[in-house]
A and B are shown apart, each in its own frame.
Chain A
Amino acid sequence: MKPVTIFTSCFLLISTVSVLADPTKVDALLAKKNAQAEKPIAVAKGIDDLTFLRRASVDVIGRIPTAAEVAEFQKWPAAERRSKLVEKLLADPRYADRWTVFFSDILRIRSNATGGNAFLAYLHQELKQNRAWDKMSREMLSANGSSGKVPAVGLILGEEVDAMAMAAATSQMFLGVRMQCAQCHNHPFDVWKQKQFYELATYFGKTRRIENQFSRRVYTTEGSETTVLWPPERKKPPVRNPVAPKFPFELKEFTSVPQYVKRFEAKRAEEALAANGANEGKSLSALLDDVDPNAAFDKERGFGKSVALEAKAATQALDIEGDLYRQSLQRTELAEKVTSPYNRYFARNLVNRMWAELIGRGFYEPVDDFQDIVTHREALDHLSDEFVAGGYDIKGLIRLIMLTEAYSRGHLDPEIPLAERNVAEENFAAATSRRMVSEVLYDSIVVAGHLTDFKWPAGANVRTFTERIRVVDGVVEGGPAAAGPGNNPNMAPNMMARPMGGSGYDLEGQIALNFDELLKSELEKDLASMKMMSDAELQRQQQMAAMSQQNTTGPRRKYKYVEVERKVDDNPRFSSTMRMATPAPPAHFLRVFGQPARDSLANFREHNPSMRQQLMMLNGKATHEAARVGPMEPMHTLLGGDKQDITAAIELAYMEILTRKPDAEEMKFAREIVGTGKPALDGMADLRWALLNSNEFRYIP
Chain B
Amino acid sequence: MNQGCLDYQMTRRRMLGLSSATLLGMPIAQMMARAGETQQAKAENVILFWNGGGMSHIDTWDPKPGRPVAGEFDPINTSADGIQISSIFPKLAKQMHHATLIRSIAGTNGAHGRASYQLQTSYNQSGNLVHPGIGSIVTHEKERLGDLPAFITISGNARRAGYLGQRCEAYYVGRPGEKDPYLAFPAGITQLRGNKRLDILAKMNVRNARNLSADQAKAVNTATEEAVNLMRSPALKAFELNGEDPKTVARYGDTEFGRGALLARRLVETGVRFVQVNRGGFDTHNNNFPAMQNHGDVMDPALASLVEDLAASGQLEKTMVIVLSEFGRTPRINNNAGRDHHARCFSCFMAGGGIKGGQVIGKSDEDAMLPAERPVNPNDLHASICHALGIDHSREVETPLGRPMRLISEGAKPVLELFG
Residues of chain A touching chain B, judged by Cβ–Cβ distance below 8 Å, are 159-160, 162, 164-165, 168, 178, 180-181, 183, 411, 414, 418, 421, 431, 433, 435, 463, 468, 470, 479-486, 488, 490-500, 504-507, 549-550, 553, 556, 559-561, 585-587, 594, 597, 599-604, 606, 608-616, 618-621, 624, 665-666, 669, 673, 682, 686-687, 689-691, 693-696, 699-701
Given that A495-B281, A693-B201 are contacting pairs, would A165 and B157 also be in contact in the complex, using a CB cutoff of 8 Å?
no
Judging by beta carbons under 8 Å apart, are B216 and A609 in contact? yes
Judging by beta carbons under 8 Å apart, are B227 and A689 in contact? no
Q: Is B189 located at the chain interface by the 8 A CB criterion? A: yes
Given that A491-B283, A690-B204 are contacting pairs, would A498 and B183 also be in contact in the complex, using a CB cutoff of 8 Å?
no
Judging by beta carbons under 8 Å apart, are B219 and A695 in contact? no
Shortest Cβ distance from residue A631 to the other chain B in the assembled complex, whole angstroms: 16
**Which of these, B166, B178, B207, B209, contacts A504 with CB under 8 Å?**
B178
**Which of these, B127, B172, B203, contacts A587 with CB under 8 Å?**
B172
Judging by beta carbons under 8 Å apart, are A493 and B281 in contact? yes
Cα separation A463 to B186 with both chains bound (whole Å): 13
Q: Told that A490-B52, A497-B174 touch, could you supply 5 new A-B pairs with CB distance under 8 A?
A: A414-B210, A414-B214, A490-B53, A601-B128, A608-B6
Q: Provide a sorted-by-A list of 10 A–B residue pairs whose CB atoms are within 8 angstroms.
A: A180-B128, A490-B283, A491-B283, A494-B256, A553-B287, A609-B219, A689-B197, A694-B208, A695-B216, A696-B209
Judging by beta carbons under 8 Å apart, are A549 and B223 in contact? no
Judging by beta carbons under 8 Å apart, are A495 and B157 in contact? no
Judging by beta carbons under 8 Å apart, are B211 and A612 in contact? no
**Which of these, B54, B279, B400, contacts A494 with CB under 8 Å?**
B279
**Neighbouring A residues of B183 by C-beta, 8 Å:** 615, 619
Closest to A425 in B: B213
Cα separation A484 to B282 with both chains bound (whole Å): 12
Shortest Cβ distance from residue B10 to the other chain A in the assembled complex, whole angstroms: 8
Judging by beta carbons under 8 Å apart, are A606 and B166 in contact? yes
Judging by beta carbons under 8 Å apart, are B211 and A696 in contact? yes
Cα separation A597 to B284 with both chains bound (whole Å): 30
Binds A, one of B35-43, B288-296, B316-324, B349-357: B288-296
Judging by beta carbons under 8 Å apart, are B212 and A433 in contact? yes
Cα separation A669 to B207 with both chains bound (whole Å): 12
Closest to B215 in A: A418
Residues of B268-298 at the interface with A, using a CB-CB cut-off of 8 Å, are 278-291, 293-294, 298
Most buried by B among A507, A550, A691, A696: A696
Q: Is B254 located at the chain interface by the 8 A CB criterion? A: yes
Judging by beta carbons under 8 Å apart, are B290 and A624 in contact? no
Closest to A505 in B: B181
Q: Mark B176-212, 1 if CB is under 8 A from A, else 0.
A: 0111111111110100010011101101110111111
**Neighbouring A residues of B160 by C-beta, 8 Å:** 586, 597, 599
**Neighbouring B residues of A669 by C-beta, 8 Å:** 203
Cα separation A180 to B400 with both chains bound (whole Å): 13
Judging by beta carbons under 8 Å apart, are A690 and B289 in contact? no
**Neighbouring B residues of A504 by C-beta, 8 Å:** 174, 178-181
**Neighbouring B residues of A620 by C-beta, 8 Å:** 182, 186
Judging by beta carbons under 8 Å apart, are A686 and B197 in contact? yes
Cα separation A524 to B218 with both chains bound (whole Å): 54
Judging by beta carbons under 8 Å apart, are B155 and A494 in contact? yes
Q: Is B226 located at the chain interface by the 8 A CB criterion? A: yes
Judging by beta carbons under 8 Å apart, are A497 and B282 in contact? no
**Neighbouring B residues of A701 by C-beta, 8 Å:** 211
Residues of B49-63 at the interface with A, using a CB-CB cut-off of 8 Å, are 52-54
**Neighbouring A residues of B72 by C-beta, 8 Å:** 480
Chain B interface, number of residues (Cβ within 8 angstroms): 90
Judging by beta carbons under 8 Å apart, are A615 and B167 in contact? no
Residues of B217-249 at the interface with A, using a CB-CB cut-off of 8 Å, are 217, 219-220, 222-224, 226-228, 230-231
**Neighbouring B residues of A682 by C-beta, 8 Å:** 193
Given that A414-B214, A597-B160, A602-B400 are contacting pairs, would A695 and B181 also be in contact in the complex, using a CB cutoff of 8 Å?
no
**Neighbouring B residues of A495 by C-beta, 8 Å:** 52-53, 156, 280-281
**Which of these, B172, B205, B254, contacts A561 with CB under 8 Å?**
B254
Most buried by B among A183, A609, A682, A693: A609
**Neighbouring A residues of B112 by C-beta, 8 Å:** 490
**Which of these, B187, B203, B291, contacts A482 with CB under 8 Å?**
B291
Cα separation A597 to B287 with both chains bound (whole Å): 36
**Neighbouring B residues of A615 by C-beta, 8 Å:** 182-183, 227, 230-231
**Neighbouring A residues of B172 by C-beta, 8 Å:** 586-587
Cα separation A500 to B128 with both chains bound (whole Å): 28
Shortest Cβ distance from residue B161 to the other chain A in the assembled complex, whole angstroms: 10
Shortest Cβ distance from residue B374 to the other chain A in the assembled complex, whole angstroms: 28
Q: Is B169 located at the chain interface by the 8 A CB criterion? A: yes
**Which of these, B155, B198, B216, contacts A496 with CB under 8 Å?**
B155
Closest to B196 in A: A686
Given that A433-B216, A491-B281 are contacting pairs, would A498 and B174 also be in contact in the complex, using a CB cutoff of 8 Å?
yes
Judging by beta carbons under 8 Å apart, are B286 and A549 in contact? yes
**Neighbouring B residues of A468 by C-beta, 8 Å:** 175, 177-178
Closest to B178 in A: A504
Q: Is B31 located at the chain interface by the 8 A CB criterion? A: no
Judging by beta carbons under 8 Å apart, are A700 and B156 in contact? no
Cα separation A682 to B192 with both chains bound (whole Å): 13
Judging by beta carbons under 8 Å apart, are A499 and B157 in contact? yes
Shortest Cβ distance from residue A485 to the other chain B in the assembled complex, whole angstroms: 8
Judging by beta carbons under 8 Å apart, are A616 and B280 in contact? no
Closest to A480 in B: B290
Q: Is B312 located at the chain interface by the 8 A CB criterion? A: no
**Neighbouring A residues of B174 by C-beta, 8 Å:** 497-500, 504, 506, 587
Judging by beta carbons under 8 Å apart, are A556 and B278 in contact? no
Q: Is B1 located at the chain interface by the 8 A CB criterion? A: no
Judging by beta carbons under 8 Å apart, are A695 and B200 in contact? no
Closest to B210 in A: A411
Cα separation A197 to B189 with both chains bound (whole Å): 59
Cα separation A497 to B127 with both chains bound (whole Å): 27
Q: Is B395 located at the chain interface by the 8 A CB criterion? A: no
Cα separation A504 to B112 with both chains bound (whole Å): 29
**Neighbouring B residues of A700 by C-beta, 8 Å:** 211
Shortest Cβ distance from residue A694 to the other chain B in the assembled complex, whole angstroms: 5
Judging by beta carbons under 8 Å apart, are A624 and B186 in contact? yes
Cα separation A469 to B177 with both chains bound (whole Å): 13
Cα separation A691 to B205 with both chains bound (whole Å): 9
**Neighbouring B residues of A587 by C-beta, 8 Å:** 157, 172, 174
Closest to A561 in B: B254
Q: Is B403 located at the chain interface by the 8 A CB criterion? A: yes
**Which of these, A168, A498, A550, A621, contacts B175 with CB under 8 Å?**
A498
Most buried by B among A483, A484, A506, A611: A483
Judging by beta carbons under 8 Å apart, are B184 and A619 in contact? yes
Cα separation A183 to B403 with both chains bound (whole Å): 13
Q: Is B419 located at the chain interface by the 8 A CB criterion? A: no
**Neighbouring B residues of A490 by C-beta, 8 Å:** 52-54, 112, 280-283
Judging by beta carbons under 8 Å apart, are A616 and B182 in contact? yes
Closest to A604 in B: B400
Judging by beta carbons under 8 Å apart, are B204 and A619 in contact? no
Given that A165-B127, A505-B181, A609-B223 are contacting pairs, would A694 and B201 also be in contact in the complex, using a CB cutoff of 8 Å?
yes
Judging by beta carbons under 8 Å apart, are B217 and A586 in contact? no
Judging by beta carbons under 8 Å apart, are A686 and B166 in contact? no
Shortest Cβ distance from residue B180 to the other chain A in the assembled complex, whole angstroms: 7
The 8 closest A-B pairs by CB, nearest first: A496-B156, A490-B283, A483-B287, A495-B280, A493-B281, A587-B172, A614-B227, A165-B127
